[in-house]
Amino acid sequence: MFTLEKTNCRSHVHKCKTCINFHSRAAKEMDRNFRVAVVGAGAVGLSTALCIQDRIRNCDVTIIADQFSPSTTSDGSAGLWTPFLVPDDQREVVSRWALKTYHFLWDVFHSETACTYGVQLISGFNFCKEVQHDPPWSKQVKGFRRLSEEELKDYPGREYGIFYTAFTIDVPRLLSTFMKKFREQGGFVKAKKLGSLQEIESSFDVIVNCSGFGAAELLKDTKVKPKRGQVIRAKAPWIKHFYIDDIGDQKGDLTYILPGVDSVVLGGTSQDGNINTEDDQTDLDGIMKRCLKLMPSLKECKVQGTWAGLRPYREAVRLEIDRTSPGCKAKVVHNYGHGGSGLTLFWGCALDVSELVLNLLQSKKSRL
């Protein structure tokens, strides 16, 4: 049996010598290609498939999904790295996943491929209720500080806030690059809508479920709830910082202005139980009104498009080996329920999942 060797390699952008040595030893000791399926082709699914490819070289990985970019929920995301809609009792592990993703994005941004991935370093303002304690990630991100009273005077009605540097991601570019790398590294892709994981259990050694909101139907998981998001994409190149207003209105809708590579995302909504994925004019009008109040210069912006989709909220992100189906021919690992933080947690979660998969295959090999 081979063992997982800890390395300092944080990203998929490069291959460090330690990783190459690890892959070489692992490949020699695994005498056949194991078969792993990843269900789902959003940011969580594709990053998970890539991490498994990276860490387990004698392994055939297949992505199975009914929706691919540009039609995934990830594609409509504003793509800002910042923990959002995550459960309170998972703050420690969520912070760890978030920071691993932050480090991955940092490496990408400082590589020659930053444009290909659509990763942009950006600073901005997050207005909020009184800050009792700094968030657990505050000492890790760049430039974190609390806003001064003088700064807050420029934003009437906001009494507290923080400033920090994070990343925005052009998600379609990210997914396109991920898929290209996955195929180049020998990955397989199958377009199929699954009614259950049992449909494919006889074809794979391990199934990794990254189905997002689809898990509600696929697994009959009643803990997965839709959080409807509505956004506007506009051309406003003079907006250089992000702005987030966490205070919200009476309906709980938040206000955010997030500059990306090619457009500025104006939002948004967070509507419980609303499964409408069509544009709602009332929501669009409300978003524009709130954003104009926060940043009047958007009066001259040009609307480029709109989008509505369902965030896969769950009372706890499910990242674990499924031990409830001992008779299943394939082992199952779950990685879903990321709420509004899929683009904040995806790489950290993918690293954890790849280690779980590796451990399962080690165990399987030892019984052969």
Name the E strands within the chain. 34-39, 59-65, 119-128, 142-146, 160-169, 188-191, 206-209, 224-235, 242-245, 255-259, 264-267, 271-272, 302-314, 318-321, 331-336
Report the pLDDT value the prediction gives residue 329, as an integer from 0 to 100: 80
Whether pLDDT at 211 is above 90: yes
Report the pLDDT value the prediction gives residue 16, as an integer from 0 to 100: 43
Kindly report, residue by residue over 87-107, the tens digit of the pLDDT: 667 888 999 999 999 999 999
Entry field: residues in the chain? 368
Pairing of strands 59-65, 271-272: unpaired
12-21, 81-90, 175-184, 250-259: least confidently modelled range: 12-21
Report the pLDDT value the prediction gives residue 4, as an integer from 0 to 100: 33
Whether pLDDT at 27 is above 70: no
Residue with tokens 């990210």: 174
In order of 176, 212, 309, 365, the CA distances from 75 in angstroms are 10, 13, 10, 38
**Which residues make beta-bridge pairs with 208?**
38, 333
Contact 341, 86 (CB under 8 A): yes
Predicted confidence band of residue 21 (pLDDT cuts 50, 70, 90): very low
Whether pLDDT at 7 is above 60: no
- Please choose, from the candidates 211, 161, 219, the residue with its C-alpha nearest in 3D space to the C-alpha of residue 44: 211
Q: From CA 341, how far away is CA 311, in angstroms rounded?
A: 9
Q: From CA 219, how far away is CA 212, in angstroms rounded?
A: 11
Q: From CA 169, how far away is CA 233, in angstroms rounded?
A: 14
Tell which wins on pLDDT, 13 or 114: 114
φ and ψ of 180, to 5 deg: -60, -45
Q: What is the average pLDDT across 55-64?
A: 93
Tell which wins on pLDDT, 21 or 221: 221
Kindly report, residue by residue over 336-354, the tens digit of the pLDDT: 999 888 999 999 999 999 9
Report the pLDDT value the prediction gives residue 247, as an integer from 0 to 100: 73
Contacts of 93 (CB under 8 A, 6+ apart): none
**Cα 178 to the center of its chain, rounded Å:** 13
Contact 142, 85 (CB under 8 A): no
Q: From CA 289, how far away is CA 281, in angstroms rounded?
A: 12
Axis-axis angle for helices 91-109, 342-367 (nearest 10): 100
In order of 51, 158, 247, 253, the CA distances from 36 in angstroms are 12, 49, 43, 40
DSSP designation for 198: G
φ and ψ of 312, to 5 deg: -85, 75
Report the pLDDT value the prediction gives residue 87, as an integer from 0 to 100: 65
Q: Got the DSSP string for 215-265?
A: HHHHS--TTEEEEEEEEEEEE-TT--SEEEETT--TT---EEEEE-SS-EE
Q: Got the DSSP string for 181-195?
A: HHHHTT-EEEE---S
Helix (H, G, I), strand (E, B) or coil at 365: helix
Q: From CA 10, how far away is CA 101, in angstroms rounded?
A: 9
Prediction pTM value: 0.87
Report the pLDDT value the prediction gives residue 10, as an integer from 0 to 100: 42
Contact 258, 239 (CB under 8 A): no
Predicted confidence band of residue 250 (pLDDT cuts 50, 70, 90): low
Q: What is the average pLDDT across 50-66?
A: 94
Report the pLDDT value the prediction gives residue 30, as an integer from 0 to 100: 45
Q: From CA 170, how far away is CA 76, in angstroms rounded?
A: 10
Q: From CA 91, how far away is CA 57, in angstroms rounded?
A: 33
Contact 40, 49 (CB under 8 A): no
Kindly report, residue by residue over 133-185, the tens digit of the pLDDT: 888 888 889 999 999 999 999 998 888 999 999 999 999 999 999 999 999 99
Q: From CA 169, how far away is CA 260, in angstroms rounded?
A: 7
